[in-house]
Structure formats: structure tokens, C-alpha cells
Amino acid sequence: MGVLRPVIAMTQRTDNPAEHEPSNKIITLPNALTLARPILADQAARKLVQGEKGALWLVMAMAATDMEGIPARLIDKYFPNSGRGKTKLGAEGDQVADVAAILRLGEAIRRAPRISLLGKTATALALAQETRKSVWAVKAAYRYQYYTGERLSIPTIEAGKEAMAEKLVAITFAVATHETDNPMARLALGMAAMGFAIPGALRGESVMKQYNASFQQMFSVALSTP
């Protein structure tokens, strides 16, 4: 689909990457946004399961926190020596927060009484691919550490963030069906959810193959190094 690509690019771009190496700071605005993501997802999940309206606003706020790259970039640009922008914790925690949020919402949507069938289908598609990717990541990390004694760290690529954004948007549309009783609106929202879930899942599969290729190369180099 690619409609989210400009937004993703904006969150990832830096004016001069060499000047903005990730710091070791923990308490920063971008890190707080990352931490808020699974918390907001949990609160939305509770409303969904209980059939209470208002979950959509929580999910939209949760999705907005996935743009923490923008404040991180601005802080690094205007306060380059503060260390409060891009951080090592944020880089690692961002992926964990994404997975935790989408899995929590996916499980809740499956049990939610007001989500439409299309919304549930779209969520199941996004969740299946995210689960597959997460299982691969855990196995790859365990294998790498077992044989090398080091942690596996594969940099997130822009297409990976785009795939995650598409899946989050799909889930947002699915949750929107929870908020209305209008049949036409529910149908339109469900179709929109599918419209983002399908490319998100396909892109996620493509990205996983790229990550696996990077892993295999890193693993081979690590084993061949004395």
C-alpha cells in the first residue's frame, strides 16, 4: 500500500545520524511514549472485552505513541548534547512495545462482543503474522546467544516499521467497528481494516525474510571469527 511510508520515513529520519548516537538515558519523553503503548493497549483491551465504548480513543492514542521517533529526532536536533532524544533503551524497547501492544489487543478483539466479523478477520491476519515473526525472533535470538554468547541485535528497517504501522492501523479500524451500531459504517470500517491488514501481513513476511538473511550472515560471521 505504501500510504504510511512518508510518516514512517519522517519518524526515522535524522539530519545528521553521525551526530546523534543513541544515549544510555532511561527517563526521556520518547521512552515514556514507548512505555505508554502497551499500557494504553491493555486499557483498550479491557473495554473491548467488556463491551464498553471508548476503546477507539485509547487505541488511537496508543498508535500515536508509535511516532516517538519524531520527538526523539527533534530533541536530538535542538538539544544535541542532552541525550534525551534517541536512546539505546528506546531502540530496543520500541520493538517490544509494538509486539506487546498488538498481541494484547489481538487477544482482546478475538473475545470482544462488538467487533465485526471483518474486523476480527483483519485482526487475526495481522496477529498471525506478528506471532510468526515474534516466534522467529525469539528462536533466532536464543540460537545466536547460545552459540556466540552475545545478544542478537538486528537494526529495524523502515519497511519493518511500515508493516507494523499498517497492522496497527488495521487493528484501529477493527476497533472502530466496536464503537458503532450502523451496519454500513461497520462494513466500511471492516473493509478498511482488511485493506491495511493484508499488505501489513505481506510486508511483514517480506521483512522477516530480510531479517532472517541478516541473521544468517551475522551468525556465519560470528561462528567463523576466532
Dist. CA 201–CA 27, nearest whole Å: 33
Neighbours of 70 (CB within 10 A): 15
The dotted CATH code for 5-224 is 1.20.120
Backbone angles phi, psi at 87, to 5 degrees: -130, 160
- The pTM assigned to this predicted structure is 0.86
Domain-by-domain residue ranges, the chain? 5-224
List, in order, residues 6 or more apart from 30 with CB less than 8 Å away.
Answer: 68, 69, 71, 72, 75, 85, 86, 87, 90
Q: In this predicted structure, what is the pLDDT of residue 48?
A: 97
The number of angstroms, rounded, from the C-alpha of 215 to the middle of its chain's C-alpha atoms is 20
The one-digit pLDDT tens for each residue of the chain (226 residues) are 466 666 566 555 544 444 567 888 888 988 999 999 999 999 999 999 999 999 999 999 998 888 887 888 888 888 888 888 888 777 778 888 888 999 999 999 999 999 999 999 999 999 999 999 999 999 999 999 999 999 898 888 889 989 988 998 999 999 999 999 999 999 999 999 999 999 999 999 999 999 999 999 999 998 887 6
User: The C-alpha cell of 14 is what?
Assistant: 535524522
Dist. CA 119–CA 173, nearest whole Å: 7
List, in order, residues 6 or more apart from 65 with CB less than 8 Å away.
Answer: 33, 34, 36, 37, 40
